[in-house]
Amino acid sequence: MSTSRTYKRQIPLALTFIVGMIVTFDWFISWDPLQSLTTTLMNYQIVMVAFMMGFAGVNLVYLHSRRIQRSMSENKLYDALLSAVLLACLFIWIIVGVGLGMGSDQYTWLFNTFNQSLSATAYAATLFYLASATYRVLRIRSAETGILLLVGFITICANIPLFKAYFPFLGTIIVWISDGLVKYSYRAITIGVGLGGILMGVRTLLAMETGYLGATEE
Amino acid sequence: MADVIGTWIAALLTIAITSLAWKDQPVSKMANHIYIGVVTANSIVQAWQNIMNVGINKILAGEFLYIIAILLGLLTYTRYSKASFWVYRYPIALVMGIGVGTSMRGLVGGSFLDQIRDSFFQLAVPGDAMTSVNNVIFFVILLSSLSYFLFTIRAFRSETAMKFSLLGRYAMMGAFGYSFANTIATRINQYAGRIAFLLIDWLHIAG
Amino acid sequence: MATKKHFLENIPIGIYFLLIIGAMCYIQIYPLGLPIPVTEMTKATYRTVEGLNEGDIILVDQGYGAGTIASHEPGFVVVFKHAMRKGLKLVICSTSVEGPLLLDSALAKIRPESQGYEYGRDWLHVGYVAGGEPAYAAIIQDFTSTFTMDYEGTSLSGMPLAQELTAPTFEKIAMVYVQSAGGDVCEGWIRQSAVRYDIPMIQQPLEMMVPTILPYFPVNCQGILNGGIGAAEYESFAGLPGEAVKLSDMLSMGGLVVLIFLILGNIGWFIRPKGGS
Amino acid sequence: MELIAGRMLDLVTLIALWVVAIFLIFSKRDIWIRRLPALDFIEESVGRAAEMGQPVLAQGFGSGSSGIQSSIAPQIIAALSVLGHVARICARHGTQVVALMSSESVIPVADEVLRTAYRLEGKLEEFEARKEEMMPWVPNQANKVSAINALRPAAHIIIGAFWHESVQIAEAASAVGAVQIGGTGRLYQIPFFAAICDMNLIGEEIYAVGAYISRTPEMLASIATTDYFKVISFALIILGTLLATMGMSGSLDALFKW
């Protein structure tokens, strides 16, 4: 039991600590072996993370093949069709992209037609949620929201070339806002977040944040 | 011909996804499912190119140490097995260690020391009252915002200190207003790109 | 919540959306071509590029996806064109999986060959790179040990520009240009190149991310392009008009409609009879 | 092998951070932490929802692969601490509490948090009976909005990690008249919460609230460590400003270039 715990838990945790320390000290120490070791480790990281990008695909296959089965048994044919189309797209794209190459005319056509229009619109369409939030929710309810609205109002005006061309003072105000108000209040946040990030690193290397190991048993 | 079909499909998908903002209906659902499938597939295709470029090509060129990288990469898939789930912990432990080390070492300089170094204000600039006043204001904004995030220091709990940090909260609210408005600009810009596509490439109305 | 809403607060949301789309379509068909005032931040970005010498190498993270192409592509095109005017060399990688596939569309607008720019000698494209912050550190430490081939699969050993980037790569790069919709990406590059080696850096985040990059300006990051707005300003300041200038008219109109409805909503809320708490 | 000039201060600061953090974590000192007004607000709004007999909705527990194994884990843990607190109030009043799940890795942990809350109120059987509806699996954004519309919560607790769905869910909940408390460590999403929510927590405040409720020693020690270094930066900025104003910033500049 205890040896299995060593292999399953303690060695990985020790590995995290050692590798983290190597990479950290590479920043401060000029020593060629250390430098080439970290560069190699980082190249390994690129490969490992690339492999992990396949997880999303595996999860989709798992989730949607189950959903097809369930929808078929419940007679929800459209739902089954949706999942089937999703999986078909997944496989066609991977086959064409890996088989014929990403630079091939076929993959370029698929990408330009589907990926580009869908991604671009999916992000852009948030405009409507945002617009409806500005119209229906943004109210001067308190001093805080009042300030938020005032600065927001000035910024929208300043972002519109139409206004900025006719009211040059907007340019001066927006510079004061961005290079002063925003820069320095966000600096306080940056310092806090930065320190928080370092402490998160300390906890991880000291094996106090072990969520990344997955399932808690053992 | 392929271009014309492509433009039509792209235009119809654009409209279908836009309609999602209005109401969830069968057509937009279909577009959404296609979206998830093709986006995931593309990232896998790109990841594959990366594995070739950074890993496999080097092995072919004689750098056999990169076999370890490929093996570690393959081992990540043991997470789908209940019995040998723990093997997955080795590559993820490395990824975690490298990632944490890389960001930690940079955070000290980037988000702590350099931030302090750039915050030494000249409160009285000779012959420039405007800059002096601004510097005093910015100095107060920075310190009050900073004091807002002190949670365990009792000395900062006095009434004056709390009022001072409230000033920081107001300043941050102003900054959020800026951010909010800028987001609207971002989204309008992106939607403008889609409208330009529909009008120029699809309908050939403007140009 | 019990009080009835004033009609100014209750205009059907569909009408509002149609007005936004309608106004933007209208201005696309009948553009105004308004002059674009240039902010100091954009001028600083321009000056950073202008300050480089002929033959200097710029590392570009063309890290945008299709989602933000309208803001980012003009920024990529205009800086590339400016670099060609100055005789700078460009090494392009991408931290977005969609970035490499979007490059062709940008190149069609740049046409490097028209300026005598030769692939492999004056510019280079290595495609997507996974791995986050450690990957940026690896690239900046030793480019040639990380990549073996370019995006098309051609070996880098035959390309003169790639051979210039052997370790220590950071001594050979004169500037880093980061375009991304990810905050971790922008700040990661700042930490691994600007903080560590003091390499000059310009960034084009999205408009909404600018506040988080501002604290690094100008110590670590010498120039920030405010998304699509920044790109439009750069285009007009550098005298290289492109797509962003065209989109800025639509930004005016769309913004105007949003602004009007914001005011209407608040007026409606103020004059609504308030009952109880 | 030598130390690199110009990075000495970085090294000293990093070592100091490690030393202070390790000391505070392992010395098991009792660390005092400020109670944030947001916590009162949470209790008040959940209490009101309970009195009215309307459900409370909580979300922000990661998304897809960004779960408890990713870099946003601290945010999720803070969110779960708040969820535990809210669930206890709800269990006491017999009000429905719903936590939307979108990351598989979080489900077992959230299950444990809710179970503990109900057990402490002596209503474990109630949890077992209604577990499914308490933790619905809602992976994508459009479904989150429809979940809000279907449930019509009186209180909407959006503390945790959020991506671009933040505007949509906050807007949707505001349309059904929910009282909202928002907070996230993901900086780009804070402005939307600041604009829409009735009460909002800025960035790190969510960790402070989480630690106040859960009293985890590592978390309290981490917050205390960052606080000390914030005080140091506070002092350095004042000192530097005084020196710069008097035109004598040379020595401090030298320190930063060490």
Residues of A (114-133) whose Cβ lies below 8 Å from B: 114-131
Answer yes or no: do C187 and C265 share one domain: no
pLDDT at site C152: 87
CA–CA distance, D55 with C236 (Å, rounded to integer): 54
Nearest alpha-carbon partner for A128 in C207, C261, C30: C261
What one-letter code names the amino acid at B140? Answer: V
pLDDT confidence of residue D108: 84
CA-nearest residue of chain B to D209? Answer: B151
Q: What is the pLDDT of residue A106?
A: 93
Close Cβ partners of B76 (under 8 Å, ≥ 6 residues apart) = A48, A51, A52, A55, B88, B91, B92
Q: What does residue C59 show for φ and ψ, rounded to 5 degrees?
A: -95, 120
Looking at the structure, do residues C16 and C138 belong to the same domain, yes or no? no
Banded model confidence at residue C276, pLDDT cuts 50, 70, 90:
very low
Domain holding C185: CATH number?
Answer: 3.40.50
> What distance in Å separates the CA atoms of residue C43 and residue C234, rounded to the nearest whole number?
8
For helices D217-245 and A183-205, what crossing angle results, to 10°? Answer: 140
Q: What are the angstrom distances between the C-alpha of B85 and each of A215, B89, B91?
A: 9, 8, 12
Query: What local confidence, expressed as pLDDT, does residue B108 receive?
Result: 92
* Inter-chain CB proximity A139 and C215 less than 8 Å: no
| Cis amide leading into B126 (omega within 30) | no
Residue type, B149: F
Q: What is the pLDDT of residues C112-146, one digit of tens each?
A: 999 999 999 999 999 999 988 999 999 999 999 99
At D114 the pLDDT is 93
Q: Which H or E run includes B8? A: helix B2-20
C148 and A47 in contact (C-beta within 8 Å)? no
Q: Which two tokens stand for residue D87?
A: 């669930």
pLDDT at A195: 94
Question: Residue C99's pLDDT is what?
Answer: 92
Please indicate, yes or no, whether residues C180 and C269 belong to a single structural domain of this protein. Answer: no
Query: For residues B98 and A20, is the Cβ–Cβ distance under 8 A?
Result: yes
Please, how many CA atoms are within 13 Å of residue A114, restricted to the half-sphere of its CB?
Answer: 24
Write down the pLDDT at residue B207.
61
pLDDT in tens, chain A (218 residues): 567 888 888 999 999 999 999 999 999 998 999 999 999 999 999 999 999 989 889 988 988 999 999 999 998 899 999 999 999 999 999 999 999 988 889 999 999 999 999 989 888 888 888 888 888 888 888 899 999 999 999 999 988 877 877 888 888 899 999 999 999 999 999 999 999 999 999 999 998 887 777 654 44
Q: Which domain holds residue C166?
A: 40-241
Does A97 touch chain B if contact means CB atoms closer than 8 Å?
yes
Give how many domains chain C has, as a whole number: 2
Collapsed DSSP state (helix, strand, coil) of residue A92: helix
Q: Could you tell me the two tokens for A158? A: 């300043």
The per-residue pLDDT for range C20-60, each reduced to its tens digit, is 999 999 988 888 877 888 888 999 999 999 999 999 999 99
pLDDT at B167 > cutoff 90:
yes
A29-30 vs C89-94, strand pairing mode: unpaired
- Cα–Cα nearest to C179, from C145, C226, C216: C226
Cβ contact A138–C41 (<8 Å): no
Q: Measured between CB atoms, does D34 come within 8 Å of chain B?
A: yes
User: Measured at the alpha carbon of residue B163, what is the angle toward residues B133 and B178, in degrees to the nearest 5?
Assistant: 60
Alpha-carbon span C258 to A134, nearest angstrom: 8
The Cα angle at residue B75 between residues B74 and B76, in degrees rounded to 5: 90
Nearest-angstrom CA–CA distance, D61 and D67: 7
Contacts of C211 in chain D (CB under 8 A): 187
Q: Which neighbouring-strand residues pair with A205?
A: none
C202 with C261, same domain: the answer is no
Closest CA to D203 of A141, C186, C212, A202: C212
Residue C147 sits in the same domain as residue C16: no
Contact C132 A49 (CB under 8 A): yes
> How far from D165 is each of B178, D80, D141, CA to CA, in Å?
20, 19, 6
Q: Which residues pair with D98 in a beta bridge?
A: D57
Q: How many percent of chain B have pLDDT more than 90?
A: 57
Rounded Cα distance between B75 and B88, Å, is: 6
User: Which pairing describes strands C173-180 and C57-63: parallel, antiparallel, or unpaired?
Assistant: parallel
pLDDT computed for residue A89 by the predictor:
95
Tokens representing D188 are 């780009």
Cα separation, D251 vs C129, whole angstroms: 42
Instruction: Check if C233 contacts B (Cβ < 8 Å).
Output: no
**Two tokens at D159?**
């503390």
- Of the partner residues A156, A186, A218, the one whose CB lies closest to the CB of residue B181: A156
Rounded to 5 degrees, φ, ψ at D157 are -100, 105
Is pLDDT above 60 for B47? Answer: yes
pLDDT at residue D104, as a whole number: 79
- The whole-number pLDDT of residue A218 equals 47
**Residue C173, SS3?**
strand
Buried-state track D52-76, b at ≥16 Cβ within 10 A, e below 16: eebbbbbbbbbbbebbbbbbbbbbb
Please name the amino acid found at residue A199. Answer: L
The sheet that has D155-160: what strands, in order across it? D97-99, D56-59, D155-160, D179-184, D199-202
| Same domain, yes or no: C135 and C231 | yes
Give the pLDDT confidence of B4-45 residue by residue, as tens digits: 999 999 999 999 888 876 777 888 889 989 998 999 999 999
Q: Are residues D187 and A189, on separate chains, in Cβ contact within 8 Å? A: yes
Asked whether the beta carbons of residue D3 and residue A24 sit closer than 8 angstroms, the reply is: no
Domains along chain D with CATH numbers: 8-30+217-256 (no CATH), 37-214 (3.40.50.720)
Chains in contact with B, where contact requires at least 3 CB pairs less than 8 Å apart: A, C, D
Q: How many residues are given for chain C?
A: 277
CA distance C71 to C208: 11
Cβ atoms of D13 and B113 within 8 Å: the answer is yes
**Tokens of residue C70, six digits:** 């309208």
**Nearest-by-Cβ selection for B93 from A16, A107, A124:** A16
In angstroms, the separation between the Cα of residue A210 and the nearest Cα of chain D is 8
pLDDT band at C13 (very low <50, low <70, confident <90, very high): confident
User: Domain segments of chain B: what residues?
Assistant: 122-207
Same-domain pairing of C198 and C274: no
Distance CA C57, CA C256 (A): 41
pLDDT at res. D187: 86
A146 touching D (Cβ < 8 Å): no
User: Which residues of chain D fall short of a pLDDT of 50?
Assistant: none
Tell the burial category of B154 from Cβ atoms under 10 Å away from its Cβ (0-12, 13-18, 19+): exposed
Q: Which of B9, B23, B28, B38 is best to mutate for the A interface (most A CBs within 10 A)?
A: B38
ipTM score: 0.92
- Residues facing residue C179 across a β-bridge: C62, C204
Would you say the C-alpha torsion D187, D188, D189, D190 has a positive or negative sign? positive
Q: Are residues C47 and C20 in the same domain?
A: no
Contacts of A49 in chain C (CB under 8 A): 130-132, 135
Instruction: Assess contact for C64 and C99: CB atoms under 8 A.
Output: yes
Report which DSSP code applies to D135. S
Would you tell me which residues 150-179 of chain C have a C-beta closer than 8 angstroms to some C-beta of chain A?
A: 151-153, 167
C35: in domain: no
Beta C173-180 vs D2-3: how paired, if at all?
Answer: unpaired
Query: Which residues in B lie closer than 8 A to residue D256 (C-beta atoms)?
Result: 113, 116-117
A136 burial (CB, 10 Å; 0-12 / 13-18 / 19+) is: buried
Instruction: Give the Cβ contact number of residue A148 at 10 Å.
Output: 27
Closest residue by Cα to residue B90 from C131, A38, A11: A11
Instruction: State yes or no: pLDDT of C2 exceeds 70.
Output: no
User: From the CB of residue D149, how many other CB atoms can be counted at a distance below 10 Å?
Assistant: 12
Length of chain D measured in residues: 258
Pairing of strands D2-3, C201-204: unpaired
List own/partner pairs for D177-180 with CB under 8 A and 24 or more apart.
D177/C1, D177/D152, D178/D57, D178/D148, D178/D152, D178/D153, D178/D154, D179/D45, D179/D48, D179/D49, D179/D154, D179/D155, D180/D155, D180/D156
pLDDT of residue A215: 55
Inter-chain contact A44–B106, Cβ cutoff 8 Å?
Answer: no
Task: Quote the mean pLDDT of chain C.
Answer: 90
